[in-house]
Every structure is written in C-alpha cells, then in structure tokens.
Amino acid sequence: MSFVFLIFLPILAALFVPLLFKKMRQIHTGWFVLIVPVILFVYYAMLVPTTSEGGQLVSSFQWIPSLDIAIVAYIDGLSLLFSLLITGIGALVVLYSIFYLDKNREQLHNFYVYLMMFMTAMLGVVQSDNLISLYFFWELTSISSFLLIGYWYTRDRSRFGALKSMMITVFGGLMMLGGFVLLGIMGNTYSIRELIAQAPEMASHSFFTWALILILLGAFTKSAQFPFYIWLPDAMEAPTPVSAYLHSATMVKAGLYLVARFTPIFAVSGTWMWLVAGVGLFTMFWGSFFALKQKDLKAILAFSTVSQLGLIMSLLGASAAGYHIGGAADTVFKYAAFAAIFHLINHATFKGSLFMVAGIVDHETGTRDIRKLGGLMGLMPITFTIAMIGSFSMAGLPPFNGFLSKEMFLTAMLSLTEFNLFSMDVWGVLFPVIAWIGSVFTFIYSFFFVFHTFAGKHKPDLLPKKAHEAPIGMLVSPAFLALLVLVIFFIPNQVGDWLIKPAVVAIQPFLYTAPADVNIHVSAWHGLQPEFWMTLGIFLVGGLLFWKLHKWQRAYDRFPDNFTLNRLYDNLMYLSDGGANRFSALYMTGFIRSYLVYMFSFLIIIVLGALVLNDAFSINLNNLAPVGFYEIVILLALIGSTVTILASKSRLTAIIALGAVGYSIALFFVIFRAPDLALTQLVIETISVALFLLAFYHLPQLSLKEERMKFKLGNAIIALGVGVTVTLVALSSHSQKALPSISQFYKETVYSEAGGGNIVNVILVDYRGFDTLFEIAVLGIAGIGIITMIKLRLSKKEGQHENQ
Amino acid sequence: MEIIMSVAIGFLFMAAVYLMLSKSLIRIIIGTGLLSHGAHLLLLTMGGLGGQAPPVVADGVSVGDYADPLPQALILTAIVISFAVTSFFLVVAYRSYQELGTDNMEQLRGTDDYE
C-alpha cells in the first residue's frame, strides 16, 4: 500500500466536514472526524514491529519530477514515533473537543477543517523525505495554526496571537527554506536520506555553516526556543483542545523533529552542538523561571512547554557529542538521544493531559486566573487526580514517567562535563548547573499549578460559574493520558524497544546501525549516583521554595515590562510599520519637482559614474566638420533666445523666444543640408507657437500675475549636471565610433531599388515605412485625445460617479 | 564643429531641465520643447555634420558627399511625434487651468485622502 496518500486522508476528510456540519446538526461533527485519526493511528501502530526491527518503509508520489520534487513518505523509527503521537493525541484531542466545544454555539465546521488540515500538514512534515515537500507541509502547519489560534476571530487577543505566531514561525520557515536550498545545492539532491549518506563530504563545504544556522532558525522559531518563544504564550488564545494538540504535543515538536532529523548531517559541527544544546538549556531555564510569574493557567503551561521543549532540545544537542567520541556507544554519551525521545513522549502525555485539565477548569469555573481559583479538590476530584499525576510527572517525581526522563536528562548533562571538544571542558560544567536550577523551578511551577488551583481555600464568590466536576466525556482523554503517564513508568523498556530505540538509530546512525544495538536499559533505581543526589536536591530545594512561595513570588512583578522580549517584538512591529510609513512620507512628497530631481540625479550619477569607472571619456579631434561663420551666428542666436526664455518675465516673451529657438534650429537644418527637416521644423514650430499662445495667452486671469523665475541653486546644479552629462556623453560617443554608418547602402540603392531621388523621403516611406505608419498613428491619437479633452466635460458630480 | 555643437546641446539640455524643475506649468512645457530640440540636434550631430550635399540624388555628386540621410529620417519622425505630444500636453494644461484655476505645480498636488 502506498501509504504516502494516507498523509492526505485528513485533509480529504475535511472536505466533508462542512457538509456533515450542515446536514447532520443533531450529531456533533467531531464524532465523524474522530474516525480519521483513529484509522491512521491503527495503521501506523501496525507498522511498529517493522521499525522496531530496524526496517524502513518508503512510498513516494511524483509531484514535479523535472525539478526533483516529490512527496516521499519515509517511515523509520523517528517518523513513526511522531506519526503515532500526531494521530494518537489527535484522536484524544478530537474526543475532548467534542465535549469542549458546543455544537450549537461554535462554528465547528471551521474548527475541524482547520484541525484536519493541520493533521495532514504535521504528518507530512514528519514523514517527508524530500526537503521541498517538507517545507511545503511546514508552512501548512504555520497556516493552519494561524487559523486555529484565531478561531474566535471576534476577539482582539486571538487575532493578535494568531498574527504574532504567524509572523515568527513564517520568518523561521523562510529561513529554513534558505537552509534547505543550500543543502540541496551542496548535496545536489533534495532527498534527506541521500543527504545523510553524503554527510561527511558536505561538512567542508562553504555553505555548511549557513545551512546549519538557517535550518536551526526554522527549528527554533517553530519549537519556541529563546528568543522566539514569545509567540507561544500568546497562542494560548486558541481553544484549549488546540493548545493541547498544537502547542504542547505536536506542532511545537516539529522543530525538535527537524533537529533530530538533521543531526546526522550537522553533528560534526561544534556550532551545531553549542547552539542546540546551549539555546535549548537556556530556554529550559528561562521558561521555567518565568512560568512562576504567570497568573493564567494556560500561560503557566505555555511557559512550561517552552521550558520542556528547551530541555529536549538541549538533549538533542548533547546527542551530537556521540559523533566525536570513539566507542561512545559504551559510555554515558549514549543516553542523550534516548533521553530526548523518551522525554518527548512523556511530555506529550503529561502536557496534553494538563492542558485538558486547564480547559476543564476553565469550562467548569469560567476562569483560568490562578488567583481566583483554589480549593477545587473536593469539587472536582477526578480532574484533580489527573492534574496531580501530570504535574508530578512534569516535576519529575516517581512513580511517573517524568521522573525517568528527568534522571536521564541529568545523566546526559553530566556527561557533557567530560566532553573535551569545542571548549566544552571549560564551559561544560555550566550545563548540569543550569539544568539543575531549571529543574528546581520546574518543580516549583508544577506544584504551583496543581496546588494553587486545587488546594487551598475555595473562593466561590470570585468564580463566574458554580464549580462542579466535568462531564465524563471530557475526562476520558486526559484520564487516558494520565494513565499512560503511569504505565510508561512501569514499562519504560518496552516503550524503549518499540518506539524509542528505532528513533535513536535515526538520530545517531554514527553510533548504531540497528535498534538492537542500543544497549540502554531504563531503571527507576540506579544506585547512589550523582543523578540521585541532584534529584534529591531538586526535591528538597524545590519543596522549600514552594513552601515559601508567597514570600518571594511578588519579586516577579518587579521585572520591568519595558525590557521584555514581547515589548521588543511590539516595538519592532511598530517600527517597521510606522518606519515604513515615515520613510515613504519622506520621499513621496507629491510634488512633481521632487520626483524629477530624483530621476535627474540618478541619471547624472549613473551615467557619469559609468563614464568615470570605465574610463570611457575621450575626445577625438579628427574627422570633424569645419567651423563656419554662419553656424556660429545661428548658434549665438540659439543661445541668446534660450537665455531669454530663462530670464524672461512674461510668458509671452518666453513663448516667442522658444519660437526663436525653433527657427534657429530650422536654420541649422538648412546649413547642415537637411531640407526636409528644415521645412518640417519651420511649419511645426509655427503651429506650436500658435498653440502655446492659444493655450496660455488667452487665459486672462493668469496673465495678471507674472513674475520672473526665481533662481534656485539646487535646480541649477542638477540642470548643470544634466547638461554636462549630455555633453560628455555626446563627445565620447562621437569620438569612439565602432562601426561605419549603414547609410552608404541607402545612398547607393535609393534610385536603383526604390526609384526615388530624395533619400530621406524614400527612407521614411519605403525602407522604414513602419516608423511612419505608427508616427501617423501617434498624430491621430493625439488629435483624438485633444478633441476628447475639449469636448467631453463631465461635471464634477458625474465625474465622481464615473469613478465609483 | 561637432564639439561646439555638443556643448550647445548640453546648454539646451541644461536650460530644459532647469525649466522642468520650475513651479509653473507653462515653463515645464517650454522645457520639454527645449529638450526635444536638444535631442533632435543631438541626433543630427552624432550622425556627423560633414556632408557636402543634401541627401537628394543629383548629377555630379559622389555618393560620399551626401549628408547622412538616416539621422534626418529619424529626426523627422521624432519632430512629428514630439509635436503630437506637445500639443496634447498643451491642451491638457489648458484644460487643467480651466478646471483647477492654477498653473502652479505646488498647488497641483494629490492629497493622501484622495480616492
């Protein structure tokens, strides 16, 4: 079966959603939609045995073969794991949304179409083997995420959040496209597998670092890493199922997927390791630190997501260390990739359930403000249990899965201190320290989340609704996820064999060739290792700080708002918007004079610049016509009348002086042996002057106020520049004739071929008759234009009506 | 002669540009007129001014002595076209006087709220 088409199953199903929504009003549309992720999940689950033995599946669909662009679905351990997450959590989220969204009040057809679109996009991202189709699906996730965040489009905050996430993720996406194109040029293929196969040759290419940085920009923006995480808290305006699905379990992990997928290519580079591990770890600390500042349940979870994504990112960075160590498969370095994938699964389970819990609390009490909540434990016991399991797992407590991956995280971070490349031996000690501090804050905000919501005093008067337990349907999905949290703790090695080890092979092909080679055994108890003491320290310090939280949490409010990244983003948007406005207002003055000044200035600069740069100026004094007496006299008359135009006070004088210029030119034509030109020039100058007089002299109200043209230095400089430019170009081009004139042919054949004596006329009507034809057309059009201008006079009112 | 003509043409261009940068509509149109005069002279000069006889076949004139006919044909076309354009300009300017009552270019400026 060509499973590449399964990627498109959700978006095809989405076509029927509006129909079902309109025709089957009594049944919640979500029930129909639910079938799709369930089918997909079952299908992908059946592929697990294949990949767990190290097998891969490829199915492709030619899209643009001539450009080497195809949609190639490639399933190995890594993409299968993500596909299972997408479809599995997708099914649970759809189930949850059926009870969360009211079928009478909400626009469900929009919601499920966007959601299915997103599912297709996400499956496409994780299964694509072709870089271009990966980018295609990547942007589709951005677009569908934009639509889902702005689902309640009548709210200002939703639209703002949607736009912000769109701007940031699309920025990253475009950077990533640049990286992909560079990779494509370096490897001469767009297939990721083929690129990985030739990874060693590419490392020395001059594009390598650029491709690395650009692709990382894409991954960091999508996965909400520092400093691009700012869109994620604002994306919490989306409906809660969306937050649970996109902004905790799937889309934000697309960046992690990208990093994991490209690790085999870029692991050779120290830049990669430092950037991925460093940015990830810093994000982990930053997110956990600021999670405690938040007042909104979903904002706490958003920051916690940022933090946990940073944790996984740092592990992926650490996994690159294995590339540089001989026999790394037998040392502690082997843990990093395994821990990353393990925590990725764990995070999807507990964070998904926590988001659903926040949605339930919001749904049943009417608020998500943690200051108004409290004491819900007795009223919502099931929700509380789920929340507690999720939070404790997030904090890293046994017996929940978060404990295991947190232990492995500490192991991996500790191993970095032993790594002695890329100056890790000096700075590597920072990794476990920051990781430990971040874990302490993680512990505190996990407790903050669950206990400040469910424990303490109940404040019914602050709540918009009377709190009570959620309907059973809404509890099914989070309860199932919470169950998974527990189950994974007890069977980590089965999960490892089925899902994680095949994915680790995809990330670290330089260490392992088959899943069976990954000799990692997860155990909850591994002796009195440093990890144990660190974990104990986290519990003790975290517990102590949580106990005294009310004393120091207020310190967060003192952080100046002016220096936050959000303020920076707002200012940047404001600056680019207002700045562009001000910039165009600066030069778009509306005066014709300004635009003429720009044009003439550029003309002078470009032409004179080209003359100087090419050293093209020259004067050739040979082959010149002799200077005659009459020519000089006419020239003086020409210059005299031009000066008169410039200096004249009245328009009449200027017009007559223009006539004098025209007649001098006619005289030039006489002297330079051009009788036809002289005739035409005389006639046309006469008519022109008459027209000038007609148009301007006979308008009485204008002749009243006449003044001399004021001298303006700026104008004069530009005019002089144009004059000098024309003179220099004329002199240079006259002095450097490359080829002789073709007129010899006309002169010789005018009588024998065309039967005429006047060479100019024969050229006009015979040799080059087309010019004349269209010149006649120009004259005709001008005549018709003039008649129209004079005859057609719509009054102002009618004129406006015409415009509409 | 060509050098002197080149300088004179440069002067014509200079005057034309200076007039086109002015505020008064009529001076701008006079400027375009001067500019086309300059261009026509430039065409003629670049063709070479050394012809001994007008380009009309006559007995006893050797082929090399005729003035170059091709630039003359080009100029003739250009004169007619610039005449057509200038007369259209003039009528447009005339109409805009009638409708708007000014020939000052600084007052003939589109506003931002113009639809």
A420-465 tens-digit pLDDT: 766 666 777 888 889 999 999 999 999 999 888 888 888 877 777 7
B45 in A contact zone (CB under 8 Å): yes
Separation between Cα atoms, residue A802 and residue A796, nearest integer Å: 10
A628–B1 CB contact, under 8 Å: yes
Separation between Cα atoms, residue A798 and residue B46, nearest integer Å: 51
- Asked whether residue B112 carries a pLDDT value surpassing 80, the answer given is no
- Compare CB distances from A665 to B29, B41, B46 and report the shortest one's residue: B41
Separation between Cα atoms, residue A192 and residue B34, nearest integer Å: 66
Q: Do A656 and A697 fall within a single domain?
A: yes
- Asked whether residue A800 carries a pLDDT value surpassing 60, the answer given is no
Number of domains in chain A: 3
Separation between Cα atoms, residue A429 and residue A188, nearest integer Å: 40
Chain A residue closest in CA terms to B110: A590
Number of domains in chain B: 1
Indicate the SS3 state at residue A620. coil
Which of the pair, A305 or A456, is modelled with greater confidence? A305
Q: Which of residues 13-32 of B touch A (CB under 8 A)?
A: 13-15, 17-24, 26-30
- Asked whether residue A702 carries a pLDDT value surpassing 60, the answer given is no
Residue A398 lies in a domain: yes
Residue B54 lies in a domain: no
Q: Do A722 and A755 fall within a single domain?
A: no
What would the mean pLDDT of A85-108 be, rounded to a whole number? 90
Q: Which of residues 86-115 of B touch A (CB under 8 A)?
A: 86-88, 90-95, 97, 101, 103, 105-106, 108-111, 115
Residue pair A116/A90 in contact by the 8 Å Cβ criterion: no
Separation between Cα atoms, residue A216 and residue A279, nearest integer Å: 10
- Compare CB distances from A743 to B11, B37, B68 and report the shortest one's residue: B68
For the ranges A276-280, A595-599, B58-62, which has the lowest average pLDDT?
A: B58-62
Residue B115: the pLDDT is 41
B54–A724 CB contact, under 8 Å: no
Q: Do A325 and A289 fall within a single domain?
A: yes
R_g (Cα) of chain A, nearest Å: 38
Q: Identify all chain A residues contacting B21, using CB atoms and an 8 Å cutoff.
A: 593, 596-597, 600, 712, 715, 718-719
Top residue of A673, A741, A749 to mutate, by most chain B CBs within 10 Å, is A673
Q: Do A463 and A484 fall within a single domain?
A: yes
- Compare CB distances from B105 to A593, A625, A756 and report the shortest one's residue: A593
Phi, psi of A182 (to 5 degrees): -60, -45
Residue A23: the pLDDT is 87
Q: Identify all chain B residues contacting A687, using CB atoms and an 8 Å cutoff.
A: 83, 87
Q: Which of residues 756-775 of A touch B (CB under 8 A)?
A: 756-760, 763-764, 768, 771-772, 775
B69–A759 CB contact, under 8 Å: yes
Top residue of A629, A708, A746, A759 to mutate, by most chain B CBs within 10 Å, is A759
Residue A784 lies in a domain: yes
B76–A675 CB contact, under 8 Å: no
Tokens (6 digits) for A296: 């909104």
- Asked whether residue A217 carries a pLDDT value surpassing 90, the answer given is yes
pLDDT level of residue A519 (50, 70, 90 thresholds)? confident
Q: Do A531 and A655 fall within a single domain?
A: no
Residue A803: the pLDDT is 43
What would the mean pLDDT of A114-127 be, rounded to a whole number? 94
Cα distances from B57 to residues A669, A761, A763, A764, in angstroms, run 18, 12, 13, 16
Q: Which amino acid, one-letter code, is at A24? A: M
Alpha-carbon distance A674 to nearest alpha carbon in chain B (angstroms): 6
Q: Do A522 and A615 fall within a single domain?
A: no
Residue A578 lies in a domain: no
Residue pair A416/A280 in contact by the 8 Å Cβ criterion: no
Q: Identify all chain B residues contacting A757, using CB atoms and an 8 Å cutoff.
A: 56-58
- Compare CB distances from A747 to B28, B41, B69 and report the shortest one's residue: B69
Q: Identify all chain A residues contacting B114, using CB atoms and an 8 Å cutoff.
A: none
Q: Do A366 and A436 fall within a single domain?
A: yes
Domain that holds residue B92: 1-49+68-105
- Asked whether residue A797 carries a pLDDT value surpassing 70, the answer given is no
Chain B residue closest in CA terms to A761: B73
Q: Do A284 and A337 fall within a single domain?
A: yes
Chain A residue closest in CA terms to B46: A734
What would the mean pLDDT of B68-77 be, rounded to a whole number? 92
Top residue of A629, A656, A747 to mutate, by most chain B CBs within 10 Å, is A747
Separation between Cα atoms, residue A475 and residue A359, nearest integer Å: 11
Q: Do A507 and A618 fall within a single domain?
A: no
Residue A1: the pLDDT is 54
Separation between Cα atoms, residue A441 and residue A303, nearest integer Å: 11
**Long-range CB contacts (< 8 A, 24+ apart) of A634-639?**
A634/A664, A634/A667, A634/A668, A634/A671, A635/A664, A635/B4, A635/B5, A635/B8, A637/A664, A637/A667, A638/A664, A638/A665, A638/A668, A638/B8, A638/B12, A639/B8, A639/B11
What would the mean pLDDT of A161-167 be, rounded to a whole number? 93
- Token look-up 């030039």 returns A668
Residue A706: the pLDDT is 66
- Compare CB distances from A624 to B3, B58, B67 and report the shortest one's residue: B3
Residue B61 lies in a domain: no
Q: What is the pLDDT of residues A597-636, one digit of tens each?
A: 999 999 999 999 999 998 888 887 777 878 888 999 999 9
Burial class for B83, CB neighbours closer than 10 Å (0-12, 13-18, 19+): buried
- Asked whether residue A656 carries a pLDDT value surpassing 50, the answer given is yes
B67 in A contact zone (CB under 8 Å): yes
Instruction: From A140, A150, A144, A88, select the one nearest A114 (Cα to Cα).
Output: A144
Residue A415: the pLDDT is 81
Q: Identify all chain B residues contacting A672, using CB atoms and an 8 Å cutoff.
A: 44, 49, 51, 67
Q: Do A757 and A725 fall within a single domain?
A: no
A654–B73 CB contact, under 8 Å: no
A351 CA to centre of own chain? 26
- Asked whether residue A213 carries a pLDDT value surpassing 80, the answer given is yes
Residue A703: the pLDDT is 47
Residue A542 lies in a domain: yes
Which of the pair, A394 or A590, is modelled with greater confidence? A394
Burial class for A787, CB neighbours closer than 10 Å (0-12, 13-18, 19+): exposed
Q: Do A681 and A802 fall within a single domain?
A: no
Q: What is the pLDDT of residues B12-61, one digit of tens each?
A: 999 999 999 988 888 899 999 999 999 999 999 988 887 788 888 888 78
DSSP letter (8 states) at residue A499 = I
Q: Give me chain A's average pLDDT, please.
A: 87
ipTM summary value: 0.94
Q: Do A339 and A484 fall within a single domain?
A: yes
pLDDT level of residue B80 (50, 70, 90 thresholds)? very high
B17–A719 CB contact, under 8 Å: yes
* % of chain A surpassing 90 pLDDT: 47
Q: What is the CATH number of the domain that holds B80?
A: 1.10.287
Residue B99: the pLDDT is 77
Instruction: From A146, A101, A123, A169, select the one nearest A12 (Cα to Cα).
Output: A123
Residue pair A479/A382 in contact by the 8 Å Cβ criterion: yes
- Compare CB distances from B4 to A627, A701, A768 and report the shortest one's residue: A627
Domain that holds residue A513: 270-547
Residue A689 lies in a domain: yes
Chain B residue closest in CA terms to A750: B57
Residue A702 lies in a domain: yes
B19–A645 CB contact, under 8 Å: yes
**A/B interface, count of CB pairs below 8 Å:** 263
Chain B residue closest in CA terms to A764: B73
Residue B99 lies in a domain: yes
Strands A57-64 and A69-75: antiparallel
Residue A555: the pLDDT is 78
Separation between Cα atoms, residue A507 and residue A512, nearest integer Å: 9
Residue A779: the pLDDT is 95
A742–B20 CB contact, under 8 Å: no
Chain A residue closest in CA terms to B59: A757
Residue A672 lies in a domain: yes
DSSP letter (8 states) at residue A152 = S
Alpha-carbon distance A686 to nearest alpha carbon in chain B (angstroms): 11
Residue A799: the pLDDT is 47
pLDDT level of residue A557 (50, 70, 90 thresholds)? confident
For the ranges A169-183, A409-423, A528-542, B42-56, which has the lowest average pLDDT?
A: A409-423
- Asked whether residue A774 carries a pLDDT value surpassing 80, the answer given is yes
